[in-house]
Amino acid sequence: MTNLTPLCPRLLWAALLCLLSFSCAHSGAATSGGSGGGAPGGSSGYTINDIDGDWVGVLYPNSSLLEPFNFYFRSADSGVVSEAADSKNNQWLPSDSLLTANILNDGRMMVEFDSMILQNHLLLEGNMSPALNELTGDYEYLNNYGIPIRGTFILVRSTGNDYFAELDYSGAWSGGFGVGRNENKRQLKFVLDSDGSVISGSMTNWVTGVEIHHYSVGAGSFAATDMATGRINNFVLTADDGAIAECDFLLLDHELTLIGGTGVDSEVGEGTIEIRR
């Protein structure tokens, strides 16, 4: 795996850990966390318990050629990160990744996601807000092709299983279904009801405009199934011609501007899915 030089060297973080005496979380499985545990300021400042919870938001690449994408991670039991995923179908779990979270008593934080089976590494470095409800900073991501991507991130603490409840999905959504590394895209268009269910939609050839699939009422739903993180698990979409598109998961943002992930269409093949409102 290509070595990735993080934004702040690990040795520096280790020195700061010793000098400022803050706790480090280590990899391990855990259940969903709640709200953060301490309060900033005073003699103790921030603690590792403040990272506990579900953090959801958007990563913004520095390159204008790349689109922002959705992301979340889950931490509990004094900063033990139990899972993370993004809307590009990357997922980090304790069974296949090294997951680490650190925070200094002044609110500077680092969370690292390092896959042990893929060339897939993500490092977040930034700060926690005084209200303990927002993480902001810079990220560095090494994708499966060994290409480093840098940018900024904004993550907010989910309020729990009500965070993505009762959102209004209604309106026109459009985007693409990209096939292969060069993402030879098919155009997607959907009209969704307020609950996220499909009213109508289509997949067409981006160049010729020829319709590949048409979707009618009952084709499927883009509503979140994990209301704390905006994750849509086991997504299935059935076209009028019987073609089926399936995704292990999709992710949406709380403002409902982007739904994304990777799936397989029974006729077109595997590809990345992104639709925006």
Note the pLDDT tens digit of each residue in 221-261: 999 999 999 999 999 999 999 999 999 999 999 999 999 99
Q: Identify the CATH assignment for 10-157 out of 3.40.50.720, 2.40.128.120, 3.40.50.1220, 3.30.70.260.
A: 2.40.128.120
Q: Per-residue confidence at 109, pLDDT binned at 50, 70, 90?
A: very high
CB 266 within 8 A of CB 203: no
Is the Cα dihedral 223, 228, 230, 233 positive or negative? negative
Note the pLDDT tens digit of each residue in 65-83: 999 999 999 999 999 999 9
Q: What whole-number distance in Å separates Cα of residue 103 and Cα of residue 117?
A: 27
Q: What is the DSSP letter of 20?
A: H
Q: Per-residue confidence at 50, pLDDT binned at 50, 70, 90?
A: very high
pTM of the model as a whole: 0.82
Q: Identify the CATH assignment for 171-276 out of 2.40.128, 3.40.1350, 3.20.20, 2.30.29.
A: 2.40.128
Q: List CB contacts of 47: < 8 A, sequence separation 6 or more.
A: 22, 23, 37, 38, 103, 105
- pLDDT at residue 6 tops 80: no
Pinpoint the residues of the chain covered by CATH 2.40.128.120. 10-157
